[in-house]
């Protein structure tokens, strides 16, 4: 893996594919962005970061209180939309 000049990016040298590497709520997340183009990787990173932060927040909401079925449906739709 090769570091890049941009935050939260690493590049796998043999395939030249970009990976996201970020921390969300203390958890290290590494995911392949499925591209070798920096501009596309930046867009995918933004989407991935938003999704992961929403997912972490939803899990925190579940831990804080009792979850109703309606709340569970809302959380599911937030995570899996887009």
- Domain assignment of residue 24, given as a range: 2-80
At 1-18, the pLDDT tens digits run: 777 778 888 999 898 899
Reported as a single tens digit per residue, the pLDDT across 24-71 is 988 999 999 999 899 999 999 999 999 888 888 877 766 777 778 888
Q: Tokens standing for 71?
A: 């709340």
Q: How crowded is the C-beta side of 72, counted as CA atoms within 13 Å? A: 4
Q: What local confidence, expressed as pLDDT, does residue 79 receive?
A: 79
Total number of domains in the chain: 1
* DSSP, res 55: H
Using a cut of 0.95, tell me whether the model's pTM lies above it. Answer: no
Q: Tokens at residue 2, please? A: 């090769």
- The residue count for the chain: 82
């Amino acid at each position: 893996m090769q570091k890049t000049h941009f935050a939260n990016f690493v590049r796998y040298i043999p395939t030249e594919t970009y990976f996201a590497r970020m921390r969300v709520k203390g958890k290290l997340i590494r995911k392949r962005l499925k591209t070798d183009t920096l501009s596309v990787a930046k867009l995918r990173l933004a989407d991935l970061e938003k999704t992961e932060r929403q997912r972490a927040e939803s899990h925190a909401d579940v831990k804080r209180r009792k979850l109703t079925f309606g709340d569970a449906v809302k959380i599911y739709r937030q995570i899996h939309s887009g």
